[in-house]
Structure 1
Amino acid sequence: MWKWLRWLLLALLLMALYLWLSQDKTIKIKVVHASHGTVEQTIANTRAGTVTACQRAKMSLPIGGQIEKILVKEGQHVKQGQLLLSLWAKDKQTKKQQLLALVRASQGHKNQACILSEKAQKDAKRQVSLLQQKLTSEENLEQAQAQADAAHANCLALTAEVQANQAAVKNIDAYLEQNYLTAPFDGIIAEITGEIGEYTTPSPPGVATPPAVDILTDDCHYISAPIDEVDAADLAIGRPVKITLDAFRGQTFAGTLKRIAPYIQDYEKQARTVTVEVAIDNHQSPHFLAGYSADIEVILATKEDVLRLPSDLIINNEHVLVVNQDNIIERQPIKTGISNWQFTEIVQGLSTKDKVVASIGLTGVTTGAKVAIETQQTTGN
C-alpha cells in the first residue's frame, strides 16, 4: 500500500513541476513614449579626431654646433622674429671682421685706381687737342691713350674685387644666420631639447631626431578628424559642426567645416576615410591644448518639433516593438525621416501614446510575448 502511495506522490510532484515549467512567465520590461523635439541628420567621425594647433614648428638648426645661448624657457610666449637659441660662432664672426677689413682696403685701392684712370683719360684728351694743333706727336697720343685704357681696366678690376669681398661678407652672414634660431610666428614654446654647452646636430635624411625647439600657437586651434568614405559625398565646406571633447565632458562646442582633404586615406586593414578640418567658432584660449582627442558631428539637416524616438529602438529602420492593451508585444511598422545616432524622426506609424519597448535584446522579448511594464518614460530632449 505504501509503495503505491509513494509512486502516486512522485507522479503528482512530476506533474506539478511540468505544469510550473511549462506555464508562461511574465517578462518585466521598460517602455518609452515618443516625444516631440529636434532631430538632426549628422555625419560623425569614424575614429577619434585631434585638436591641432593652427601653426606648429618643430625646429632644428641647419648645422651642428655647440649651444652657446638659450634665450627662452618652455611655456614662454614669444613674438615672430624673436631669437630663441644660438650656437657658438666666434670663428665666423672673426672671419666676418676680416672680410670687412678686406672690403675697406679694396675700396681704397679701387678709389685710387679710378682717380688715376680719370686723370689718364684727361691726359689722353689733351694729347688729341695738341696733335690737332701739331704741338705733339702721334706716338705721344698713343702712349697717353694706352695709359688711360690701362688705368680704366685697373679701376674696373678693383671695382670687381670690392664686389667680390662684399659678396664674401654676405656669404659669411648667411653662415652666421645658420647659428641662430628665431621664432617663425607668435606662439608659445612647447619644448626645448638641449642645454647650454651641449652639441646639437641636424637630423640626417631619414633619421628622426628631437627638434631643438618646438613652438606652437595656443590661441588658435582646429579639429582634424577622419570621416568614412561612404559619407564623403554629403560633406560640404561651411556646414555647422558639433564638437565634443573628453577633456570637457558634458560640453558641446560649435564649429564650421573648413576643409575636406582632396583624397581618400587608404591604409592596409583599415576603413578608407577622408580627413576633414573643423574651425572652432568660439575658441577658448588657453583651455584647448593641442593633442586633445575630439569627436565631431557634421550637421546635414535639422528639423524642429518633430516626433522622434531613440534610434537604437528602431529595428531595421522599418518597425518597433510596442506593448498592446493586453500587455502583449506586437510589431509596429513605421516610416522614418532624418536621423542620427541618438534620435530618429518618426514620420508615420507611431504616436506619443504608444508604449515602445525599450528593453531590446532582453531574453524573451519578442513578438507575442507576455510582459509586465516595469517603468515608463518619455524620450529626453
Structure 2
Amino acid sequence: MKLKRFKFTKKRVIVLAVVAAILLGGFFISRSRSKNDVAMTTVQRGTVKEELILTGAVKAEKHAMLSFPTGGKISWIGVTEGQKVIRGQGLVSLDKTVLNVAYQQSLNNYRNYQAAAESALDSVKDHSSDETFAQKAIRTAAEVVRDNAYDAMIAAKYNLDNATLLSPFAGIISSLPFGNPGINVSGADTIVEVVDPSSVYFEVDADQSEVGSISVGQEVVIILDSFSDKEIKGSVSFVGLTPKIGEAGTIYKVKVKFSDVKSLGNGTKVGMTGDARFILSQKENVLYAPLKFVNTDKNGKFVNVGKPGNRVNVGTGIEGEETVEITNGVSEGDTLYD
C-alpha cells in the first residue's frame, strides 16, 4: 500500500502560521492576566469585632401543640388558621355523646361497687380484732374494685371536661391540621397549634469550649438564612447551667432575646434557621486588614506592602471573622498584596 504524501501548499503554511500566532498570543495573554490577577487591598481604620458564630433557630416561649386526651369525632371548629385568639378561648370540640355515656356508665359502676364495698365492710364491722383471713380477703377485694371504679369515673370525667380545647394563652392559630368537623381523631393527633409571636426568641447550642465566652446581657447579631441581608439585634437572656439531655457531647442551651420583636414583622417564623454572632470583644478606630492578606510563618506574621513579595512584619490584635487588627508595621492607606 502506498502512503499518500502530504504536500505543503502556500495556503496551508499561512493557515498554520495564523493558528500558531493565535495560540502563542493566547499563552502570553494568559501569563499577563495571571500576573495582573494578584489580589490587593488597602489598610483601613475602623472597628474590629471578635465574634463567636453559632447556628440556631427561631423558637417561641409560648408555643402550644394541643391534642385531646382521648379519641373521638370532631364536632365543632371555632377558629381558622391565622386567627388571633385570647387566653381561654374555645378552639375545637369533640362529639360529647360517647364521652358522656362513658362517664355515666363509670359513675353507675362506682355507685354499684361502692355499695358492695359498704356491704363487705358492714359484715366485718364488729370483727376488727378477730377478722379472719377470708373476711379480710373479701373486704379488701371489695375495696379494690370500688377504688378502681372511682379512678375510672375520674378519668371519664376528665375526658368529658376536656372535650373542648382551650387556648392556653393569647396568640395566633398557626396550624389546624383537621379543618372540618366530622373527622375522627386519636389522642396522639395534634389538633391545633397556637403561637404567641411576641414571645419568639433565637436558640443556639454551645459546647463546653464555647459557653464560657457567653454571658447574660451579651450583645448578639442574628442573621436568618431567609433574610441573609438583614442583621437583627439581640442579647443573651439565658445560658444553661446544665448540659442538654440526649446530646452526644456536652452541649448547653443559649437563648437570645430579640431587641425589638415588633420590628421583625410577619416574615420571621418559628423554625427559621440562621447564625448568631456573639460579640466577644470590640475595638474602634484601629487599623485593620482582611485576614487573607496577613500571612504567618516561623518568623511571625507579615504582609506584602506595595508590591508582591515585599515582606513587612506586623503585629496583630483582635481577630474577627473576616478582618484582623494590625497594631504595628503598616500605616492607613498602605496597599497590601496577597
TM-score (norm 2): 0.67
1:225-272 Cα shifts (integer Å, max 9, x gaps):
23354222211111011111232232211100112223456855xx76
Query: What is the CA distance between 1:53 and its match in structure 2?
Result: 1.9
2:192 paired residue among 213, 230, 253: 213
Structure 2 residues without counterparts, runs of 5 or longer? 1-23, 108-150
Point out the structure with max Rg over C-alpha: 1
Q: Which residue pairs with 2:336 in the alignment?
A: 356
- 1:206-285 matches, cutoff 5 A: 210-264=189-243, 273-283=251-261, 284-285=264-265
Whether 2:79 is the aligned partner of 1:72: answer: yes
Q: Which residue pairs with 1:332 in the alignment?
A: 312
- The 1:189/1:88 distance shift into structure 2, 3 A limit, reads same
2:35 paired residue among 27, 31, 35: 27
Structure 1 residues without counterparts, runs of 5 or longer? 1-16, 101-166, 204-209, 359-381
Q: Which residue pairs with 2:266 in the alignment?
A: 286
Query: What is the CA distance between 1:174 and its match in structure 2?
Result: 3.2
Sequence identity percentage: 26
Distance 1:70 1:35 in 2: 63
Query: What is the CA distance between 1:221 and its match in structure 2?
Result: 1.1
- The 1:99/1:53 distance shift into structure 2, 3 A limit, reads closer
1:12-43 Cα shifts (integer Å, max 9, x gaps):
xxxxx9xx99xx98822232111110111211
Query: What is the CA distance between 1:185 and its match in structure 2?
Result: 0.9
Query: What is the CA distance between 1:293 and its match in structure 2?
Result: 1.6
- The 1:92/1:51 distance shift into structure 2, 3 A limit, reads closer
Query: What is the CA distance between 1:99 and its match in structure 2?
Result: 11
Distance 2:186 2:250 in 1: 39
- The 1:264/1:331 distance shift into structure 2, 3 A limit, reads farther
1:42 paired residue among 39, 51, 70: 51
Amino acid at match of 1:66: K
Bigger mean CA deviation after superposition, 91-100 or 256-265: 91-100
Whether 2:290 is the aligned partner of 1:310: answer: yes
Q: Which residue pairs with 2:275 in the alignment?
A: 295
Query: What is the CA distance between 1:298 and its match in structure 2?
Result: 0.7
Whether 2:167 is the aligned partner of 1:188: answer: no
Distance 2:311 2:251 in 1: 37
Q: Tell me the C-alpha RMSD between the 2 structures.
A: 3.3
Amino acid at match of 1:337: G
Distance 1:334 1:343 in 2: 14
1:178-217 Cα shifts (integer Å, max 9, x gaps):
21111111111111222311111112xxxxxx41111111
CA contact (8 A) 1:41 1:340 kept: yes
CA contact (8 A) 2:44 2:333 kept: no
1:56 paired residue among 44, 63, 73: 63
Secondary structure of the residue aligned to 1:247 is: helix
Whether 2:301 is the aligned partner of 1:319: answer: yes
Q: Which residue pairs with 1:346 in the alignment?
A: 326
1:197 paired residue among 155, 176, 182: 182
Distance 1:183 1:353 in 2: 62
CA contact (8 A) 2:305 2:312 kept: no
